[in-house]
Structure 1
């Protein structure tokens, strides 16, 4: 049977149906206590979230801390990646000199830097921000670098023939070329910013959703662990949606892809 999601309402229906099936399968599977011990129970997870937000209302401080860490890391990492990516893409000699060091830094498991950042910046938010920045930076950097490198030489030659200077090339050629690559990287960077913040909270913190999850793990409270995961996932989806909204506004010039083919 062919299905074509021409209607947004129909598409949302199928998406909701998938969610209902997943939750139903989870609920049925966890009726066994052995399974519930490892995977939690969806109703208990929902009750924990309800208690956090409505009854006890103690999640707001922790979620606020994690969001501040994530947003700071996301902004700093994106700005740094954009600036360094443009700089090296437009400076071939500098790029060639720094190439092995950049590859080495990117290959490093950056989570191991968390204890070092804790020593440098203390156990406050800045050690978590620093760790998350290292995760966001390289994603944005490599996408910007590749986006600038993908500029057509023919376009550059034509613009130079029209008398464009370096600043005009940057504004009207290089930046538009890199923009789509940047937004592509930002969707990935949202999740990585949360990863850096939460991992940092795991290693040393008194606040944050990562701290709540760590405390729950210590008491084998799997339902609270899953509740924390759901809250973090929802927050990441909201931030990703905001990035998508900004992308639509700034990328109006880009032609839209064709309609989805029949399945």
Structure 2
């Protein structure tokens, strides 16, 4: 900015226009500052919470029942260093993740297919509605116990529990997404000679993609819950078995350690699903771009 004096002694202010590179660099600096401030605040909250817990468990409450961060850290170091009494901790994690992923894929595919088909058929949706609602109302822990009786303590019973939990989370979103498709678009496609399969695959499914992908975030969380619940009810390995054993031996630190590992796995899966969602929806313009174009 420069200041000049004219003949009438009246100051005029001239502004130098910023280049596009300068504007982008300033925007990046603002984003970086906001990100650092956000992560700094998060870290401060975690440190304050863990510090208060450690101090409280040391001075006032019994750590035998409530544990404390230092004991949880010791248990994690023990598991990852020398293993658990059921084998390597990585074997337990791999077992739970395998059960969750296999059941998640089966349940998600079944939920998408049945949700889209029923979403486009009002008659069959009315026929199936009471059965779907009844199955969704059955307590999952009861089904987990039945699956153990039917399929044993192996992978099959845990996958069946995961499928039941994942299916309904995806089904209702796929059903709603198929119902929300613009009827005028479908009518125009049929006028132009599109077959029922073309309408379903090229119009209905792409339109319901946002609904389906948004349900996958919740569905994988349910998949992990289903795997852990199945292992908790009866298993020979897995994170649910570690938590159940810690409960039976009054090992509060072991329960918390198992919860932390499950949370870490869920966060990694959430990141992976979000990355895949961004790739699959890359064709869709963002709201900011749409507003700019208008």
TM-fit CA distance, 1:35: 4.5
Q: How many aligned residue pairs are there?
A: 257
Change (3 A) 1:146 1:108: same
**165-174 or 120-129, larger mean C-alpha shift:** 165-174
Deviation by residue 1:22-56 (Cα, 9 ceiling, x = unmatched): 22222222223635233311111112112211343
TM-fit CA distance, 1:184: 1.1
Change (3 A) 1:50 1:243: same
2:36 to 9, 18, 21: 9
Change (3 A) 1:39 1:5: farther
Partner of 1:32: 59
Deviation by residue 1:106-136 (Cα, 9 ceiling, x = unmatched): 1111221112111211110110110111010
- Quick check: 1:148–1:174 contact (8 Å CA) kept in 2? yes
Partner of 2:291: none
**45-54 or 207-216, larger mean C-alpha shift:** 45-54
Partner of 2:70: 43
2:251 to 218, 221, 236: 221
Partner of 1:201: 231
Contiguous gaps of at least 5 residues in structure 2:
1-29, 289-294
Aligned counterparts of 1:173 and 1:29: Cα–Cα separation in 2: 58
1:191 to 215, 221, 224: 221
Q: When the two structures are superposed, what TM-score results if normalisation uses the length of structure 2?
A: 0.81
2:124 to 75, 89, 94: 94
- Quick check: 1:5–1:11 contact (8 Å CA) kept in 2? no
2:81 to 51, 54, 61: 54
TM-fit CA distance, 1:180: 0.9
Aligned counterparts of 1:67 and 1:53: Cα–Cα separation in 2: 17
Partner of 2:145: 115
Partner of 1:261: none
Cα RMSD for the two superposed structures: 2.1
Change (3 A) 1:170 1:6: farther
Deviation by residue 1:80-107 (Cα, 9 ceiling, x = unmatched): 1111111211222211111111111111
- Which protein has greater RCO, CA pairs closer than 8 Å, 6+ apart? 1
Partner of 1:69: 99
2:159 to 121, 129, 153: 129
Aligned counterparts of 1:35 and 1:150: Cα–Cα separation in 2: 55
TM-fit CA distance, 1:175: 0.8
